[in-house]
Amino acid sequence: MKSREELQASMEAGLAAGEEKITALKAKMADAGDSASDEAANALAQAEKALEAGKAKLSELAAASDESFEEMRASAEENWASISDQMEQGWASVSEKVKSFFS
């Protein structure tokens, strides 16, 4: 079982990676301008929503007392796995749409 610090560090690393991917994608879509597809924009919005959910969960865990953190640990790990999956699915969807657009 991960310690509080390990769980937070893992979440922070995942969120940072997600932010980097989204920033890079936004730059590509900005370069594409009006020719970027609505599908890609929707997929990007979903990835951003998942990223925001992850940030909210991290803030909740960081602010939790030691006692409430222990109560939240199992659901936090499960929720984080779900949020990570959502971000990755959103990123994969956006990546495919952007790759096909730019190729």
Query: pLDDT for 40-97, tens place per residue?
Result: 778 788 888 888 888 888 888 888 888 887 777 767 666 667 767 766 776 676 666 6
CA distance 95 to 42: 12
Choose among 35, 37, 38, 51: nearest CA to 89. Answer: 51
The CB-side HSE value for 22 (13 A sphere, CA atoms) comes to: 22
pLDDT band at 14 (very low <50, low <70, confident <90, very high): confident
The one-letter code for the residue type at 54 is G
C-beta separation of 18 from 49 below 8 A: no
Q: Encoding tokens for residue 33?
A: 């301008």
CA distance 77 to 35: 39
Does this model's pTM top 0.75? My answer is: no
Residue found under tokens 């971000």:
87
